[in-house]
Structure 1
Amino acid sequence: MSPSWKAFLAYLYTQEISFASLKSNGIPRTATKDVCSPKSMYRLAVKADLESLKEMAFKNIRSQLTPSNIVTEVFSKFAYQHPDILDMEVRCLIEKFTDPLVYPQWERKMEEVARGDCPHGALVVNRVMRLTLLERASLDENLQPSAC
């Protein structure tokens, strides 16, 4: 039985769970019997319709996002498959964008997107643009008259 299933069953009995570090953090995972991937648990929680477990996994994923891994995570297949995760990660990316570690990764990822090596890259770029440009324009429009 996988660590995620074991942790899931334990959670059903105890309402407690321990999450492993995201692979993108670069921290080697040690074989601990009670630790599971927060992404795997999020998937299980969605399938089992367990909102509290889904929220715990969501919060854990969010807590592990750093300037070093945010670009990797926001462009991941997992984020693409889970709109709530994608939206949260896009907002986190925008918050961390000025960190010196983020922009060089963003540039490399944009090159991959342009080459077609990241099939769902357009979705991420569109969400970033919507949050940074459209919502900002909306705020500016409400605050001051347009010079155009």
Structure 2
Amino acid sequence: TLVEPRNSILDFVDREIVDDFIHQMRDRGMTIRLGSAVKEIRSKPDAAEVELADGRTIRSEVVLYAAGRTGNVGSLGLDVVGIDADSRGRIKVDPQSFQTSVPNIYAAGDVIGFPSLASTSMEQGRVAACHAFGVPLPPPPETFPY
């Protein structure tokens, strides 16, 4: 059983692909509960019990809880400088420079959303710093060594 508090999964993937993915999971016997939040997880001698916010309980041998990443922007005072973050703490940036809607403020990493990987975040920070200081970026390689 997949329990997801939002009404959709994989927001960064084309809907057609996500719809097919959901169809494939259901064909394999998976139950998908979108719009359902986990209230509590209890360990029992023979199973785990997952209580949902609506009062339903799911019993399972194994529970994998993946909370995801949400940018921690609540105390940055973004509203004071005129930058908006969405409900998940993501800041909109120019994808070429990582510049926000305020020209001298940049954002990179988890606070801008997918893919939220350390290696990607480091590269985003490098690109943002180069843009901020007018340092030209070399063109990306035509091939990447394996």
TM range (shorter): under 0.3
Q: Which protein is bigger by CA-based radius of gyration?
A: 2
Structure that is richer in strand per residue: 2
Which of structures 1 and 2 has the larger relative contact order (alpha carbons within 8 angstroms, sep 6+)? 1
Structure that is richer in helix per residue: 1
TM-score, scaled relative to structure 1: 0.25
TM-score, scaled relative to structure 2: 0.25
